[in-house]
């Protein structure tokens, strides 16, 4: 059921502390942790504690939580000292966009030049 923890979801297991992660921030609704395959010096994932397959499903069901994730992205950027230099926030939604873990999550990337278009 949407919103409920999924036994086979890596990110649900991180929320439950069943799988280790380097957690950098946590709120009532979110957990932020370092990506295990960083694409920039700062690469932090912010996930909701509730399970939704992707950002679109989360936004439709619980818009306040997606707002919490976006608010936390600024806090992560400040904590990581990339706020003033610039940082990127990315939701990959669907396999065709590069989503590999089907639990909504936001990437916060910074600490190097990030060209456009990405790729």
In order of their start, the domains of the chain are 10-110 (3.30.428.10)
- Cα distances from 70 to residues 8, 50, 51, in angstroms, run 26, 15, 17
Q: Residue 104: is its pLDDT beyond 90?
A: yes
How far is 111 from 62, CA to CA, in rounded Å? 31
| Active-site residue flag, 107 | no
What average pLDDT does the chain have? 95
Element (H, E) at 39: none
pTM: 0.95
At 119, the pLDDT band (50, 70, 90 cuts) reads low
Region 10-27: what's the mean pLDDT? 97
118's CB contacts (< 8 A; 6+ apart) are 88, 90
Selecting among 43, 51, 103, 105, the annotated active-site residue is 105
How far is 100 from 110, CA to CA, in rounded Å? 21
């Amino acid at each position: 059921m949407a919103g409920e923890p999924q036994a086979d979801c890596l990110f649900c297991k991180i929320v439950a502390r069943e799988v280790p992660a380097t957690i950098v921030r946590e709120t009532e609704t979110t957990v932020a942790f370092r990506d295990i395959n960083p694409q920039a010096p700062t690469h932090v994932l912010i996930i909701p504690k509730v399970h939704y397959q992707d950002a679109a499903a989360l936004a439709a069901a619980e818009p306040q939580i997606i707002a919490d994730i976006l608010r936390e992205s600024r806090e992560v950027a400040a904590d990581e000292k990339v706020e003033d230099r610039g940082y990127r926030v990315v939701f990959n939604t669907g396999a065709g966009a590069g989503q590999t873990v089907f639990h909504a999550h936001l990437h916060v990337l910074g600490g190097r030049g990030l060209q456009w278009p990405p790729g």
